[in-house]
Chains A and B, each alone.
Chain A
Amino acid sequence: DAGVIQSPRHEVTEMGQEVTLRCKPISGHNSLFWYRQTMMRGLELLIYFNNNVPIDDSGMPEDRFSAKMPNASFSTLKIQPSEPRDSAVYFCASSSDLAGSEQYFGPGTRLTVT
C-alpha cells in the first residue's frame, strides 16, 4: 500500500489567497483526520470524517477553514482567505476504526502564508 498521500508537500502563498490541501487515505480505511501542527499549539485535530461524513469539526479554527470528503479516497482542506497565522504543517491521517486509535499519517503539507 502507498500509505496516506498528501499534496502539495510544500505551499507558499500570500495572505488573502485561497489554499487547498489534498489527501488520499489508505484504501479500506473508513476514518480520515485532518490535523494542524505548530510549535506553540502542538498537534491539533481540526476535523474528522467517518464513511465520508464529518463527525466532529469543533477543531476547525474559524469559518475560513472548510473540509470535504466527496468519496472514500479523497478529502480536501481549504483555507479561504489564508492568513499568516495559518502557517503550520497540516497532516492527514486515516484509520480503520472510528476514533482512530491506530492512525496512519501522511507526510504532511508545510504551509507558509506571507
Chain B
Amino acid sequence: GQSLEQPSEVTAVEGAIVQINCTYQTSGFYGLSWYQQHDGGAPTFLSYNALDGLEETGRFSSFLSRSDSYGYLLLQELQMKDSASYFCGVGQAGTALIFGKGTTLSVSS
C-alpha cells in the first residue's frame, strides 16, 4: 500500500525557522512535491525534489532522502503571511501525485 505522514499542526513565531516533515511509503516513488494553501485559497506549488539533497528557493527549502523515504520543507525567517497549510505530495509511477493530509502552520508575532 501507500501512505504519507506529516504533522497536523506546527506553531512558530515570526523570524523563526520551522521544519515540516513528510514520511512516505510507496512503490515506484520518483519525487516529492510541496504545496502551500492559505485559508479559502487554492494550493500553490512550492517545490519538487526528484533527487536526494536540498533544493533552495528563497526563504523556503525542500529536502529529500530517498533511502529514508523522508523529506522536509524548511521555512526560514518566518513571516505572518506564511501561516497556511502545507501539503507534501508523492509522485509515483503509473499514477498521479498523492497528497498528505496537510500541516497547518500558525505564525505568531
B is bound to A: yes
Q: Which residues of A contact B (CB under 8 A)?
A: 31, 33, 42-43, 45, 48, 55-56, 91, 93, 98-108
A99 closest partner in B (C-beta): B91
**A91 partner residues in chain B, CB cutoff 8 A:** 42-43
Cβ distance A32 to chain B, nearest Cβ, rounded Å? 10
- Shortest Cβ gap from B64 to chain A (Å): 12
In the complex, the answer to whether A99 meets B99 with C-beta atoms within 8 Å is no
Known: A91-B43, A103-B43, A104-B45. 17 other contacts (CB 8 A): A31-B96, A42-B101, A43-B99, A45-B97, A45-B99, A55-B96, A99-B91, A99-B96, A99-B97, A100-B96, A100-B97, A101-B31, A101-B48, A101-B50, A101-B91, A105-B43, A107-B41
| CA distance in complex: A99, B31 (Å) | 10
In the bound complex, CA of A108 to CA of B44 (Å): 12
Please tell me if B109 contacts chain A, counting CB pairs below 8 Å: no
Any chain A CB within 8 A of the CB of B92? yes
Please, which residue of chain A has its CB at the minimum distance from the CB of B93? A99
B44 proximity list for chain A (CB < 8 A): 105
Total contacting residues, chain B, CB less than 8 A: 24
- Please state if B43 and A102 are interface contacts (CB–CB under 8 Å): no
Complex alpha-carbon distance, A37 and B87, angstroms: 12
Contacting pair A43 B43 (CB below 8 A): yes
Q: How far is the CA of A93 from the CA of B44 in the complex (A)?
A: 10
Sort A-B residue pairs by CB-CB distance and give the 3 closest, nearest first. Answer: A105-B42, A42-B101, A43-B99
Task: For the complex formed, measure the closest distance between the CB of A106 and the CB atoms of chain B, giving whole angstroms.
Answer: 6
Could you tell me the distance between the alpha carbons of A91 and B48 in the complex, rounded to whole angstroms?
Answer: 20
- B96 near A56: Cβ-Cβ < 8 Å: yes
Docked Cα-Cα span, A105 to B50, in Å, equals 21
Cβ-based interface call for B98 (8 A)? yes
A99 contacts which of B35, B87, B92 (Cβ < 8 Å)? B92
Provide a sorted-by-A list of 7 A–B residue pairs whose CB atoms are within 8 angstroms. A55-B95, A56-B95, A99-B93, A102-B33, A102-B48, A103-B33, A105-B43
